[in-house]
Amino acid sequence: MTTTARPAPLIELTDVSKRYGNVRALEGVSLEVGAGEITCVLGDNGAGKSTLIKIIAGLHRHDGGVLRVDGEETRLSSPREALDLGVATVYQDLAVVPLMPVWRNFFLGSEPRKGVGPFKRMDIDLMRETTRGELLRMGIDLRDVDQPIGTLSGGERQCVAIARAVHFGAKVLVLDEPTAALGVKQSGVVLKYVAAARDRGLGVVLITHNPHHAYLVGDRFVLLRRGTMVGNHTRDAITLEELTAQMAGGSDLEALRHELARD
């Protein structure tokens, strides 16, 4: 009987560590994300999620352990290098220009041009049509790609950023707390397009502090606390209740309950 070997993960971290002087920001963290999978990284403030993002995005180099992209060991030295390898990061602030139209933000920094010599200019028609088409391919039907992106809801702006990363060739999408500042309905919209990116074959790293959002879409769950990994589970190995308890601190929360109980 022959078994089909699982393809190498798109991103794989093995015992990765990072220190800033004497401060340990990460210690011995491992995770992997394959094509068409969502790996959720959960933790409260100060858990090490931001440091992990910076390592995967190429902003900071790790001190220890191994980072592999497409099976090749690497030490990313810049966000540009990460992008060239197909790793795109969408941060919470999204880095958009609110007064510019949606299509201009979609191509910001990568504007196609037409003409030659001194007559070279931005191909506005192409950018409008491409933006509209790419958003529709992700299932995003905006009223008008000429409207300023600042007039969109927070969830819609997140979705535009996801579609942009897909269009520019991302193989791995790292999302930094995409639902943190959103209500229930807008969070659902964003999670829908996170799942759409997964269904198009991307590997997704979803950073969040919300176990309910993570469990809705996640295939794997990595839990961080004070820079260390306290859990690494596949979806079929943990329930939402167990995930929430581990995220909340488990025994620490139980001890606090006893401390706060009335006599």
pLDDT of 4 strictly over 60: no
The mean pLDDT of 87-113, rounded to a whole number, is 88
The runs of H, that is alpha helices, within 86-239 are 102-106, 124-137, 154-167, 184-199, 211-217
**Does residue 4 or residue 112 have the better pLDDT?**
112
What is the mean pLDDT of the segment spanning 96-125?
88
The pLDDT tens digits for 9-28 are 999 999 999 999 888 899 99
- In sequence order, the 6+-apart residues with CB closer than 8 A to the CB of 4 are none
- Mean pLDDT over 75-87 rounds to 91
Q: Which domains does the chain have, with CATH numbers?
A: 11-98+171-260 (3.40.50.300)
The mean of the pLDDT values for the chain is: 88
Residue 6 pLDDT more than 90? no
Quick one: pLDDT band at residue 37, thresholds 50, 70, 90? Answer: very high
Closest CA relative to residue 175, chosen from 198, 141, 153: 198
- pLDDT of 220 higher than 90: yes
pLDDT, position 108: 87
Burial profile 231-254: b = 16 or more Cβ within 10 angstroms, e = fewer = bbbebeebeeeebbbbbeeeeeee
Report the pLDDT value the prediction gives residue 235, as an integer from 0 to 100.
92
